[in-house]
């Protein structure tokens, strides 16, 4: 996902859906390195693909299970995953295109 090209998402999504444990390991490794700045990951994804990734992450990492991020302290892997997930919505909002706005809507 860091060094891919447009069109790779369909294969990655199939892997995430076929093996959620693999998907979680992949996302966790990306979140560890890019939780606060996922720009490289998102460069090859369309608005709809970012939205699909966010939806997958909501199922795998529900917001109700997020650690309290309002306090300072150790940033755990789960913090990084929550940051990555939430930054996907921020990314869509920052794009500001019609499809991005629809994808990031309620």
- Residue 94 pLDDT > 60: yes
Other C-beta atoms lying within 10 Å of the C-beta of residue 4: 15
Contact 46, 93 (CB under 8 A): no
Find the range with the poorest average confidence among 22-26, 34-38, 39-43, 50-54: 34-38
Torsion of CA 103, 88, 40, 34, to 10 degrees: -170
| pLDDT level of residue 2 (50, 70, 90 thresholds) | low
DSSP-assigned letter for residue 34:
H
Mean pLDDT taken over the chain: 80
Q: Where are the domains of the chain?
A: 9-104
Mean pLDDT over 49-65 rounds to 92
Burial of 83 from C-beta contacts in 10 A (0-12 / 13-18 / 19+): buried
């Amino acid at each position: 996902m860091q060094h891919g090209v447009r069109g790779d998402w369909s294969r990655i999504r199939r892997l995430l859906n076929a093996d959620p444990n693999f998907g979680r390991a992949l996302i966790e490794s990306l979140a560890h390195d890019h939780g606060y700045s996922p720009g490289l990951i998102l460069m090859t994804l369309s608005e709809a693909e970012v939205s699909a990734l966010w939806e997958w992450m909501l199922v795998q990492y529900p917001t109700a299970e997020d650690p309290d991020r309002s306090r300072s302290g150790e940033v755990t892997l789960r913090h990084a995953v929550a940051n990555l997930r939430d930054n996907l919505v921020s990314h869509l909002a920052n794009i500001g295109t019609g499809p991005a706005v629809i994808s990031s809507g309620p």
